[in-house]
Amino acid sequence: MRNKSQLGRFLRTRRAQLQPSDVGLPQFDERRRVPGLRRDELARLAGVSESYYTRLEQGVSLNASTEVLDALATALRLDETEHRHLYDLAGVGRKNGDDGARTRAPAPERVTGRTRQLMAAFGDAPVIVLGRHSDVLAWNGTGHALFAGHLDPESPQDPERRPNTARLVFLDAHTRELYEDWPKKAADVVGRLRLAAGRYAGDPRLAALIGELAMHSSEFSALWSEHRVRAWDVAAYRMHHPVVGPMDVTQQAMPVPDGPGQRIVVVTAEPGSPSQAALTLLAQATVPPGQHRTADTAPRTQPMP
């Protein structure tokens, strides 16, 4: 994952999605050789020379300033997530502050006691903690039952066996069947993996994961080639669980304060709705008889058939 070449590809895909009329440029009847804006048109909009912009797309120029990147982001009409991704690919530090993620080797990932306390604060709601590669670092009992009840509940504790949500979405039949609108979930997963690839360029485990998914899933390869990014924020999905049936849920992702690159994902449903009742039933089904739920309780048996 060489970020200079990724920068060029990102710029080309975003440029191809804009028409002259989208940015106030006159469009004549001449046959255009490329989809979207031409390089010279985008360069004029950003206030840079065409030759300089061409070098950026070709991965030749290595010194794009924040001013140039901001101008390109404006010209390309990038949203905040895409804007930050542009900074990462250009190697000039995180927009709105650099936390050093690009300059130091990633440390082994673990979940702290404080993070487990935060998980406990959500009670019976499904909760999982994801690492920088989208590995599952921890889950509570309901989180395990909702997302991967067919897997060993203890697997997140072993770095070599940790489930990976991107791998599950594309390569696991059980996970594919969980999402009624699987293409939407797949696009969200790839977009977030794109963010990680921009931020953690050169991470060998991340590169291996992307290579594995590209080799085994043509759907992943097609989405990956679009160079779209997705923010870690709020997403609504229609899920169909084999134990409790269909439900409409909201998955909210928040950064873990003392876990660089980690996200805690909490699943909720509309209060008083059948979907909330289904989540409550799932929580009840995951507590072994005679035990009370705790933050670290995970079901020792598989979900009900």
Q: Is residue 296 part of a domain?
A: no
Residues 126 and 273 in one domain: yes
Residues 135 and 23 in one domain: no
Residues 157 and 188 in one domain: yes
Residues 74 and 182 in one domain: no
> Distance of alpha carbon 144 from its chain centroid, rounded?
19
| The pLDDT value given to residue 118 | 93
- Number of independent structural domains in the chain: 2
Residues 23 and 117 in one domain: no
Given a cut of 90, whether residue 39 has pLDDT beyond it is: no
| The pLDDT value given to residue 62 | 64
Residues 21 and 124 in one domain: no
Q: What are phi and psi of 64, to 5 degrees?
A: -65, 130
Q: Is residue 154 part of a domain?
A: yes
Pairing of strands 245-255, 234-241: antiparallel
Using an 8 Å Cβ cutoff, are 126 and 278 in contact?
no
Residues 122 and 257 in one domain: yes
What is the pLDDT averaged over residues 57-84?
81
Given a cut of 60, whether residue 296 has pLDDT beyond it is: no
CATH number of the domain within which 213 lies? 3.30.450.180
Locate all alpha helices (DSSP H) within the chain, ordered by sequence.
3-16, 39-46, 50-57, 66-76, 80-90, 113-121, 141-148, 165-171, 173-178, 182-199, 204-216, 218-224, 274-285
| The pLDDT value given to residue 301 | 35
Residues 131 and 278 in one domain: yes
Given a cut of 90, whether residue 172 has pLDDT beyond it is: yes
- Angle between the N-to-C axes of helices 274-285 and 141-148, in degrees from 0 to 180, rounded to the nearest 10: 110
Range of the domain at 57: 3-90
Q: Which amino acid is at 96?
A: N
Residues 121 and 71 in one domain: no
Highest mean pLDDT among 69-83, 163-177, 288-302 belongs to: 163-177
Q: Which amino acid is at 55?
A: R
Strand partners, 135: 164
Whole-model pTM: value is 0.77
Tokens found for residue 238: 């229609």
CATH number of the domain within which 73 lies? 1.10.260.40
- Summarised one tens digit per residue, pLDDT across range 19-28 is 776 666 666 5
When pLDDT is cut at 50, 70 and 90, the band that residue 33 belongs to is: low
Q: Is residue 145 part of a domain?
A: yes
Q: Kindly report which listed range (5-9, 40-44, 288-292) carries the lowest average pLDDT score.
A: 288-292
Q: Is residue 102 part of a domain?
A: no
What is the pLDDT averaged over residues 113-142?
94
Distance CA 146, CA 240 (A): 10
Strand ordering across the sheet containing 245-255: 136-139, 127-130, 263-268, 245-255, 234-241
What is the pLDDT averaged over residues 39-57?
84
When pLDDT is cut at 50, 70 and 90, the band that residue 106 belongs to is: low
What is the pLDDT averaged over residues 216-229?
93
When pLDDT is cut at 50, 70 and 90, the band that residue 59 belongs to is: confident
Q: Is residue 201 part of a domain?
A: yes
The DSSP line for 99-143 is: -STTTSPPPPP---HHHHHHHHHTTTS-EEEE-TTSBEEEE-HHH
The more confidently predicted of residues 280 and 296 is 280
